């Protein structure tokens, strides 16, 4: 399988990437790790006229803490590859769910190429890091001709492969509130270890609120986007037990059916994985 | 477009189409056919090579993306005197292959596993090779081969060129 022909442009900075996007128009695509884009180009499901390779932008790959105390933010460059995040000491100490989840993406070869900006921009509801980011809260930083803007993660993923980003913008950073020792849990169900989640649940926070905020739950592959289990979150805030609240996890979801699972089985998984993720989060708190 | 890629220690410059995949570049442009294409969809790992010290699936990387990089294929592992790389030697000693189709990818991925973790447990080897499929062996002898290779020390987790590349 060979992609349709395209023009290849390698850029060295965000500014160069943005002007190349402006120059080549809507049929151009950014290329980061290429581990979502190249497979669909090989299937000719995407036929971009130009690929703008941003993987050589060195200063897009970093993890650092900004600010301190309860307001501290962990800033992650969009070009940070999954394996870099998985091993990053700052991320491990300040927002441990993210490096854990990065390590659950695909297999080592995939993690050596894929980036957090790519998985964020791709907006596949069956993706791991967006699920974790949605539970953690925080923002996606976009840069375009008009400068930078921050979109809350709760508003970023708008549909299957659709986001709040416009075609002349790119993701430059993810900003995540520091969680430190706050409890968290991530439960991913797959048939093969290196696959996308059939369903996954991410939970983080604590009952009392406090530094890590109240308990939040996000789900993968239960609708056209990753989404929060709001009924569960509200029940927990109202004093329900974890078991009671987890029974509501599939409310408001619209899971699809495929060769791996039908919709009812996905609903069952959402409830079960939510309970397990919440129990882990509560146990570690 | 023109790419300059160091393949198995030798720098070469080639005129390629932007859409040329690294797997096809290695097999057809360079004539290095140890790198196999199995699934052609990032699933089986048969096409695994090492790019700048990291294992990658070359069916999902453009040759253009490897411009300026150091690429190692199975052909680049043995010494000029024919001495096998520790992982190759261990695959032979432990019968880590049957038909051999997955083997070049398995060996390259195993080097990646050992680069990360010089003395992995059985479970860690299995997890590290989760991106590589073998239809013949049932994996037991592959796992044993990787653990045997680990006994050879740090060389088992290195490709000859990577020693020059690292920082
Ligand atoms: C075999 C295999 C298994 C996988 N398993 C999993 C899994 O278990 N869980 C999971 O979550 N994912 C999985 N993935 C997907 C993987 O995580 C991808 O790496 C990721 O989704 C995309 O990142 P990328 O850097 O490769 O993006 P690319 O493929 O380069 O790009 C993806 C899309 O995002 C756009 N884009 C990229 N970077 C930016 C940016 N900075 N700003 C704006 N747009 C941008 C591109 O134009 C393109 O439309 C798997 C992939 C493969 C091939
Ligand atoms: S041929 Fe590349 S992973 Fe199967
Ligand atoms: S030895 Fe035949 S596929 Fe592995």
Which residue has its alpha carbon closest to ligand 2 atom 3?
Answer: B42
* Cβ A114 under 6 angstroms from ligand 1: yes
Domain ranges of chain B: 2-76, 86-157
Please state the pTM of the whole predicted model: 0.96
* Residue A147, beta-bridge partner list: A144
Q: Euclidean distance between the first and final Cα of chain B, in Å?
A: 28
Rounded Cα distance, A141 and B139, in Å: 44
- Give residue A192's pLDDT: 84
Mean pLDDT value across residues B4-22: 97
Q: Does the CB atom of residue A41 touch ligand 1 within 6 A?
A: no
Q: Could you read off the pLDDT of A157-214 as tens digits, one per residue?
A: 999 999 999 999 999 999 999 999 899 999 999 988 888 999 999 999 988 777 778 8
What distance in angstroms lies between residue A37's CA and the mean position of ligand 2's atoms?
Answer: 15
Query: Would you say residue B160 has pLDDT above 70?
Result: yes
Quickly state the pLDDT bin for B80 (edges 50, 70, 90): confident
In this prediction, residues B88-110 reach a mean pLDDT of 98
Partners of A283 in beta bridges: none
| Among candidates B19, B43, B131 on the partner chain, residue whose Cβ is nearest the Cβ of A6 | B19
Encode A170-185: b = buried (16+ Cβ within 10 Å), e = exposed.
bbbbbbbbbbeebbbb
Average pLDDT over residues B153-164: 78
Nearest to A206 by CA among A135, A134, A282: A282
Which pLDDT belongs to residue A25? 87
The token pair at A210 is 């406090």
Which of A4, A10, A109 shows the shortest C-beta gap to B57? A109
> Alpha carbon of B152 to those of A134, B118, B159: distances in Å?
44, 10, 14
d(CA B48, CA B52): 13
State residue B161's pLDDT score. 60
- Smallest CA-to-CA distance from A118 within A32, A178, A49, A39 is with A32
* Pocket lining for ligand 2, CB < 6 angstroms: B 37-40, 42-47, 57, 59
Give the residue whose CA is nearest to atom 4 of ligand 3: B134
pLDDT in tens, chain A (285 residues): 899 999 999 999 999 999 999 999 889 999 999 999 999 999 999 999 999 999 999 899 999 999 988 789 999 999 999 999 999 999 999 999 999 999 999 999 999 999 999 999 999 999 999 999 999 999 999 999 999 999 999 999 999 999 999 999 999 999 999 999 899 999 999 988 888 999 999 999 988 777 778 899 999 999 999 999 999 999 999 999 999 999 999 999 999 999 999 999 999 999 999 999 999 999 854
Identity of the residue in A7, A39, A192 whose CB atom sits nearest the CB atom of B18: A7
Ligand 3 binding pocket includes B97 (Cβ within 6 Å)? yes
Is the model's pLDDT at B64 over the cut of 70? Answer: yes
Q: What CATH number matches the domain at B86-157, 1.10.10.60, 1.10.150.120, 3.40.640.10, 1.10.8.60?
A: 1.10.150.120
A63 lines ligand 1 (CB under 6 A): no
Q: What spacing in Å lies between the alpha carbon of A242 and ligand 1's midpoint?
A: 33
- What is the atom index within ligand 2 of the atom nearest the CA of B59? 2
pLDDT for A285? 46
CA angle, A56 then A57 then A60, to 5°:
130
Cα distances (angstroms) measured from residue A108 to each of A33, A125, A142, A227, B89? 13, 21, 28, 27, 23
| Nearest ligand atom owner, CA of A37 | 1
What was the ipTM of the complex prediction?
0.95
The verdict on a CB contact (< 8 Å) between A107 and B19 is no
A173: left (phi over 0), alpha (psi -120 to 50) or beta: beta
The pLDDT of residue A194: 82
- Domains of chain A as residue ranges with CATH: 7-53 (3.30.43.10), 58-177 (3.30.465.10), 184-284 (3.30.390.50)
Q: Are B97 and B151 in contact (CB under 8 A)?
A: no
Pairs of CB atoms within 8 A across A/B: 77
Please tell me the distance between residue B134's alpha carbon and the centre of ligand 3 in angstroms. 5
Q: How far is the CA of B132 from the centre of ligand 2 (A)?
A: 9
Kindly state which CATH superfamily the domain B2-76 is placed in.
Answer: Beta-grasp domain (3.10.20.30)
Residue B165 pLDDT: 40
Q: What is the 3-state secondary structure (H, E, C) of A141-168?
A: EEEECCEEEEEEHHHHEEECCEECCCCC
Helix (H) / strand (E) element for A22: namely helix A14-24
B64 lines ligand 3 (CB under 6 A): no
Rounded CA Rg of chain B: 15
Residue for token pair 């941003």 = A54
A53 interaction partners in chain B (CB closer than 8 Å): 64-65
Q: What is the pLDDT of residues A236-252, one digit of tens each?
A: 999 999 999 999 999 99
B1/A112 CB distance under 8 A: no
**Ligand 1 atom with minimal separation from the B60 CA:** 53
């Amino acid at each position: 399988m060979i992609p349709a022909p395209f023009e290849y442009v390698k850029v060295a900075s965000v500014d160069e990437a943005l002007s190349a996007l402006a120059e080549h128009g809507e049929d151009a695509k950014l290329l980061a790790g290429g581990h979502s884009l190249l497979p669909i180009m090989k299937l000719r499901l995407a036929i971009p006229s130009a690929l703008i390779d941003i993987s050589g932008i060195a200063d897009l790959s970093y993890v650092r803490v900004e600010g301190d105390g309860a307001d501290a933010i962990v800033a992650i460059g969009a070009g940070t590859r999954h394996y870099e995040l998985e091993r990053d000491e700052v991320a491990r100490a300040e927002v441990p769910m993210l490096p854990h989840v990065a390590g659950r993406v695909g297999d080592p070869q995939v993690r050596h190429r894929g980036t957090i900006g790519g998985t964020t921009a791709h907006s596949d509801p069956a993706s791991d890091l967006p699920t974790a980011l949605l539970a953690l809260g925080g923002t996606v930083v976009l840069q375009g001709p008009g400068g930078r803007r921050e979109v809350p993660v709760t508003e970023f993923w708008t549909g299957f492969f659709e986001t709040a980003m416009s075609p002349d913008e790119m993701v430059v950073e993810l900003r995540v509130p520091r969680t430190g020792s706050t409890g968290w849990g991530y439960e991913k169900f797959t048939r093969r270890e290196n696959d996308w989640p059939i369903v996954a649940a991410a939970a983080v926070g604590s009952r009392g609120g406090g530094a890590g905020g109240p308990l939040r739950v996000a789900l993968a592959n239960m609708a056209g986007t990753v989404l929060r289990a709001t009924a569960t979150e509200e029940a927990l805030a109202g004093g329900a037990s974890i078991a009671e609240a987890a029974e509501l996890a599939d409310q408001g979801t619209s899971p699809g059916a495929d060769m791996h699972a039908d919709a009812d089985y996905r609903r069952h998984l959402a409830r079960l994985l939510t309970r397990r993720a919440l129990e882990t989060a509560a146990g570690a708190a | 477009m023109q790419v300059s890629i160091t393949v198995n220690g030798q720098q070469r410059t080639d005129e390629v189409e932007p859409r040329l995949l690294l797997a096809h570049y290695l097999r057809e442009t360079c004539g290095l056919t140890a790198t196999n294409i199995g699934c052609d969809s990032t699933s089986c790992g048969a096409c695994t090579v090492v790019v700048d010290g990291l294992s990658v699936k070359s069916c999902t990387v453009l040759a253009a993306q490897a411009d300026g990089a150091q690429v190692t294929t199975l052909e680049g592992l043995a010494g000029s005197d024919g001495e096998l790389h520790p992982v190759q030697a261990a695959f032979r000693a432990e019968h880590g292959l049957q038909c051999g189709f997955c083997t070049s990818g398995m060996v390259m991925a195993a080097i990646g596993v050992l680069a990360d973790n010089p003395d992995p447990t059985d479970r860690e080897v299995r997890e590290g090779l989760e991106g590589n499929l073998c239809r013949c062996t049932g994996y037991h002898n592959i796992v044993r081969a990787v653990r045997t290779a680990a006994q050879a020390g740090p060389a088992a987790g290195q490709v000859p060129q990577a020693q020059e590349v690292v920082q």
